[in-house]
Amino acid sequence: MNNKSVKTLRVLLIIVSAAVFLFEAFMLYPLSIKYAYRVQSFSNIRTAFLIFVYVTSVLFYIAVFQGVRICKKVIENKPFSKSNIYNFKVARNCAGIEFALYLVASVFIYLFTANKGVPALTAVVATALISFTALILCLACSVLIEMLKRANELQEENSMTI
């Protein structure tokens, strides 16, 4: 197994999560103030939106942590272990919850900012995009869970035969 590519993936996961953290820490609040100034109906829900984003980002970081743990097991030459199946299940559940929460959020943002122009449409599209990205991640994790279960069964059968 090529450990260099897995190590690179692990570093990329850490870099992406650090970039998201820096964006949330330093850019999200000023952008929300600017956006609330441009779209008055958003100013009513700005604080709720910020709390929502910060709370849901915890699920993102849990999923990234599971990805780092999976990379560690692959580097240790244990890619078909039961702990990887568990890690993928946790990541799948986080992605599923993110999908549902952001889908509901995009509906609420649409309802509160309907007919307010392009900036309001941008917020709806952004939350819907996050929602459907989480759906794709959830489905990919589900497929990988089934593949890992089957590979784990084959590995156990193979180790029992002499």
In the prediction, which pLDDT does 35 show? 77
Distance of alpha carbon 9 from alpha carbon 43, whole angstroms: 39
In the prediction, which pLDDT does 30 show? 87
Which residue segment(s) compose the domain that 147 sits in?
3-160
What's 39's DSSP letter? -
pLDDT band at 149 (very low <50, low <70, confident <90, very high): very high
pLDDT for 69 beyond 90: yes
Q: Per this entry, what is the length of the chain? A: 162
Distance of alpha carbon 108 from alpha carbon 92, whole angstroms: 24
In the prediction, which pLDDT does 121 show? 79
Nearest to 98 by CA among 53, 65, 70, 131: 131
* Average pLDDT score over the chain: 88
In the prediction, which pLDDT does 12 show? 94
In the prediction, which pLDDT does 1 show? 55
Distance of alpha carbon 131 from alpha carbon 127, whole angstroms: 6
Q: For 87-151, give the DSSP string.
A: HHHHHHHHHHHHHHHHHHHHHHHHHHSTTS-HHHHHHHHHHHHHHHHHHHHHHHHHHHHHHHHHH
Question: How many structural domains does the chain have?
Answer: 1
